[in-house]
Amino acid sequence: MATVLADALEDVTVIELGDSIASAYASKLLADLGADVIKVEKPLGGDFSRRLGPFPNDDPHPEKSGLFLYLNTNKRSLTLDVETESGRRLLEQVAARAGVVIASAQSGTFEYESVLADLAARREMVIATITPFGRTGRDAGHRGQAANTAALGGICGYLGATGRPLLVPPLELGEYETGVNVAIAVLVCVLTESGNRIDISEADCWATVQNGMGVIEFIFGGRVFARMGRGVKSGPYPNTILKCKDGYMRLIAMQRAEWERFLQVMGNPEWANDPRFTDRVTMNEKYSDELDAHIEEWMKEREKDDIFELCQANAVPFAPIYTIEEVMQRPEWREWFVTVDHPEVPGTLQAGFPYSMTLTPPRVRRPAPRLGEHTTEILRSVGIETDAVASLRSQLIV
């Protein structure tokens, strides 16, 4: 008879330490799969994202920050001042019951390194640390934010228009990519039931699995890609973004047949017969402005969803650039969002889960915690009496 588990990570306990999207997203992935994630927050003010918003009606409130509510759904909140000696001792007591610690810092040096070292020495635990540049290497001591790790990791070089400042990726994307890599390494250790120390660097994630494949071409051809605004003017035409009646379309055709079918969709226009427009690489390198203008002339009469439908019906892989509103309003994708009932912000739509699973689907078990909502129950579970919790609270240790 098979055991039945509602969640894949039932009975995995994770302690989350540190103010970053990367640690919050890593532990969110685990919490959504059923792990009991205890988020440690500073007693005064709590997690950084409580102050960031976005807030309903732009009215700041520590329990209503959209970023906090999203990243911390399914977690419990424990307030604890780890900068005090008694705070650190309490953390050790709570962490002694957990299998996993996920900690982040803005540089390679951790203020609570001694706590992590004590935990690691006491029992077999999985301890993952997330830093901008890693725990080792020449620049390990450097401070960094998402913009800086994206820069070192090479992403900024692709973003922006020629002659203007490079752009950094929006929404701290690198923190999310780091978080998913942390979740991978932690899960391998949970699966093999082995304690371990994991060192993840946000810059490494950009420089390797996201963006590390160009090195071979650099060595062989010295080819270095530079930003080109809305398109890429190397390789076959088109690979760009063009304007239509109500927005923008993304055009890319890896196969010649896809381009030819698009010409048919446009009714085989006269200009396409120009002998200069034969080799698609030459077209892209030399004539893309001229070609862009021809296509925009056709597209300006048409709306993006009509072009999308027409292209797809003819196996042309062009697609609209949707705004966030349009993405959220497509009925076919509605199940990729979830509605979460938080006592302060009821019935809010959030980005959902990255995958579905037939037996143990990720799910919403509880809304994001209020600051310190679970402090008493968590401390009591490690044998601290209610009176003692009250005293700790008056000293602002919890």
Q: Which of residues 358-377 bind other proteins (CB under 8 A)?
A: 358-360
Binding mask 295-334 for other proteins (x = CB under 8 A): -----------------x--xxxxxxxxxxxxxx---xx-
135 sits near other proteins (criterion: CB under 8 A): yes
DSSP H or E segment with residue 199: strand 196-201
How many angstroms separate the CA atoms of 336 and 285, rounded?
39
Rounded to 5°, angle at Cα 244 from 238 and 249: 45
117 contributes a contact to other proteins by CB under 8 A: no
Q: Around Cβ 358, how many Cβ atoms within 10 Å? A: 5
Check binding of 259 to other proteins (CB under 8 A). Answer: no
- Using CB under 8 A, pick the residue from 93, 145, 364, 376 that binds other proteins: 145
C-alpha span between 36 and 30 (Å, rounded) = 8
DSSP assignment letter at 270: G
Q: Which of 38, 95, 155, 379 binds other proteins (CB under 8 A)?
A: 155
Q: Is 53 in the site for other proteins (CB under 8 A)?
A: yes
121 contributes a contact to other proteins by CB under 8 A: no
Count other C-beta atoms under 10 Å from residue 230's C-beta: 14
Is residue 186 a contact partner of residue 198, using CB atoms and an 8 Å limit?
A: yes
Residues 89-108, interacting with other proteins (CB under 8 A): 106
Contacting residue, 44, 136, 275, 289, with other proteins by CB under 8 A: 136
Can you tell me which of 84, 93, 233, 241 binds other proteins, judged by CB under 8 A? 241
Q: How far apart are CA 346 and CA 284, in angstroms?
A: 50
Three-state secondary structure call for residue 298: helix
- The binding track of 30-49 with respect to other proteins, each residue x by CB under 8 A or -, is ---x--------------x-
* DSSP letters for 70-122: HHHTTEEEEE--TTSHHHHHHHHHHHTT-SEEEEE-SSS--TTHHHHHHHHHH
Binder to other proteins among 221, 267, 275, 343 (CB under 8 A)?
221
Q: Is the peptide bond before 54 cis (omega within 30 degrees of 0)?
A: yes
Minimum Å gap between C-beta 86 and other proteins is 26
* Between 332 and 387, CB nearer to other proteins: 332
Q: State in angstroms the smallest separation of the CB of 304 from other proteins.
A: 10
Q: Which amino acid is at 373?
A: E
271 binds other proteins (CB under 8 A): no
- In the list 15, 82, 151, 307, the residue contacting other proteins (rule: CB under 8 A) is 151
215 binding other proteins? (CB under 8 A): yes
Query: Environment class of residue 150 by beta-carbon count within 10 Å: exposed (0-12), middle (13-18) or buried (19+)?
Result: buried
Q: What token pair was written down for 6?
A: 């509602």
Is residue 353 within 8 A of residue 70, CB to CB? The reply is no
Residues paired with residue 126 on neighbouring β-strands, in sequence order: 100, 196
Pick one of 92, 93, 118, 137: the residue that binds other proteins (CB under 8 A): 137
Verify binding: residue 382, other proteins, rule CB under 8 A.
no
Based on the shown chain and the rule CB under 8 A, indicate whether residue 176 belongs to the binding site for other proteins: yes
User: Cβ 284 to other proteins, closest distance in Å?
Assistant: 13
126: how many CB neighbours lie within 10 A of its CB?
Answer: 25
Under 8 Å between Cβ of 23 and 179? yes
In this chain, which of 169, 367, 369, 372 binds other proteins, going by CB under 8 A? 169
Q: Do 187 and 179 form a contact (C-beta atoms < 8 A)? A: no
Binding piece for other proteins, criterion CB under 8 A, among 77-85, 146-154, 373-381, 388-396: 146-154
- Select 41 or 204, whichever has its Cβ closest to other proteins: 204
**Stretch of 109-117, 246-254, 263-271, 366-374 contacting other proteins, by CB under 8 A:** 246-254
